[in-house]
Each structure stands twice: as C-alpha cells, then as structure tokens.
Amino acid sequence: MSFRTIEWRDNTVIMIDQTRLPGEEIYNTYADYKDVAEAIRGMVIRGAPAIGVAAAMGIALGAREIIADTHESFFRQLENVCDVMARTRPTAVNLFWGIERMKRVAEANRDKKLDQIREILKNEAIRIEEEDQTICRNIGKWGATLIPAGATVLTHCNAGGLATAGYGTALGVIRAAHEAGKNIQVFADETRPWLQGARLTAWELMKEGIPTTLISDNMAGFFMQRGEITCCVVGADRIAANGDTANKIGTYSVAVLARENNIPFYVAAPVSTLDLSLSDGSRIPIEERPASEVTHIRGANIAPENIKVRNPSFDVTPARYISAIITENGIVSGDYCAGLRKIAGR
C-alpha cells in the first residue's frame, strides 16, 4: 500500500485525514486521547476495523496521560478514557471490541507497575493494528474464490485500506482477485452523504491500478438490469447472530436490487464485527448524524434553509439478501446462526 491509515509512532497516533481526500493526502498527529476520540467522531478515521484500531491506540495514549499514585486511581481514570472512546460512534461493534480487549489486557496485568501496564497497553494497540492487516489479507484470499475471472464488481461505501489498518475487507476481496490476475473491474457507488465511494474507494482503487467506474447511488439498478454487474461485495459495521448486517446507509437498497436481478451479494468482515449477543438486526443501534451532512457538500448549501432532515448513517440488510459472509476464518452461507457461531469458535 502506498499510504498508511493509522499507526503508532513515537508515542503518538498518526492518521491519514480522510475528510481531506482525495484532494489532499494529509496525515494528522495525535498526542491526546480526547483528540483521537474526536477524530473518530468527526470521520477523520472511519470504517469499523479502523475505528477499533483507533480506539485501542487512543486508550494507549490515554493511559500514558494518566497521573496516578495508586493502581485504584489509575484504573478509575482508565475507565473514563474507555468511556470517552465508547461514546464516539454507536453502530460499529469493532469500536467496543477494541475497547473491551484493551480493558481485559489492563486487568490481566493489574499486579504490574503502572509504567509496565502503560507499555503493555501500547504494545497491545500496535498488535491489534498488525493483526488487522493479516486478517484482511485472509478475508481477501477467501473472498477472491467467489469472484469469477473477468467480473465487474459493485461495491458501496469504502471498505478498503482506509477503513482498516491497511488492506481492506470488501476491497481486500477485490484486491486479492486483482492480484490473482482475474482481470476484474469495479463499479463504485458514490455513497451519499459523505461520498466515501467517490472520495475514498475510487482514490484507493486508482492507486492500485484496478479499473474503476464511479456511479451515483441511484444508478446501481440501471447497470444491474443491463447485466453489467457480476456481483456485489460490501463491508460491515456489525453483524447480528442471524446474519443481518449493518453497513453504510444505502447498502440495503443495493442488496434488494441484487436479489431482484439474481446477482450474488457478499459481505466481507472480520470475526470481530460479529455481535452474536444480538439475535437479529433490529437490535443493532443506528447512528444518526447531523443534518448539515445532507444539506451541505464541502460547506456549500444544497437544500432550503430549515428543511427537516433525517440522516441515519447505516441501514440493516436482512440475512436473506446476503449470498455469503466472508471472514478471515472462512465463508459462511445458508444457516448463518449456526455458521457464524462455528466460524467465531462459539
């Protein structure tokens, strides 16, 4: 990859500012955990796996900032750091997975000196980032087996290197198919209102030299009906026990159109995105974001003043529309309740 999404360097967190792409490739440096939390909330970094990494690194930063004479004081303040991270974005389960993993590691080393605990948390955050890259490459290897040679793949939003620690989930599948010489092409939905497909996915794929065509969200059905789409591959922010999947708003519409046109619809996500505590998608919390994201583009007003706006950031695709779920441990289809538990080792 020719860019880094997020990394720990010299006791700071470095992130590419995704709000500035594709016009500027700017890297921000964070030395305060509250600034990392704001970067997550403000979409400087986004995508479920990347958010999980950012939360872990934010907690590691926060641990370094804590001034405490006793373990009791340290762990009380660390809990507050974790709470700040948990309040950033409610839908992506990887955020909470990352927080809980850091909590468990801290608790498991409670008997050590505070400076040792701080160092252990830093190393764990780095380990999470490194693991994510391996996980995504394994997702890519499994998923590439589902992509036929010469395919045209439709993807929605950005589930690439920018949404992870570097390789991508849905785009990891596409990258792996491309690396295998399958001569594929990609249609990228623009993905309103943040335009992640237009700004981020298109930018990534062009850097990789993968032939890409940008379309607006409401064009997907047109190209499916004309037989120009072979399959769809998207990422996920949370997957319930029955396979219902929360992903960027508009994903559900793509899935319904794919079913109508007999086109396979695949979800690519790490096992950490599974939330087997939720029986179905109706229980997934859906983040609603500010009205200005819909009424304005790059600061320019495109709607009447004081118009009522709804801005859910995600929707839920029922499992019946999903042809298969691709994880680092393999591919699940059919009976998702049993298959997801098995692949997650439950």
**Virtual CA dihedral for 125, 127, 132, 133, nearest 10 degrees?**
130
User: Which candidate, 325, 182, 193, places its Cα nearest to that of 264?
Assistant: 325
CB 68 within 8 A of CB 88: no
**Virtual CA dihedral for 344, 234, 202, 192, nearest 10 degrees?**
-120
Q: CA 160 to CA 157: how far, in whole Å?
A: 9
Q: CA 199 to CA 297: how far, in whole Å?
A: 12
Q: CA 90 to CA 86: how far, in whole Å?
A: 8
Q: Which residues are catalytic?
A: 237
Q: Where are the alpha helices (DSSP H) in the chain?
A: 33-41, 48-65, 71-86, 93-108, 114-144, 170-179, 196, 202-208, 220-225, 251-260, 292-295, 336-343
- Amino acid letter, 125: A
Q: CA 66 to CA 69: how far, in whole Å?
A: 10
Neighbours of 302 (CB within 10 A): 9
Q: CA 298 to CA 156: how far, in whole Å?
A: 21
Q: CA 170 to CA 273: how far, in whole Å?
A: 13
User: Which candidate, 28, 50, 22, places its Cα nearest to that of 298?
Assistant: 22
User: Which candidate, 77, 170, 153, 154, places its Cα nearest to that of 118?
Assistant: 77
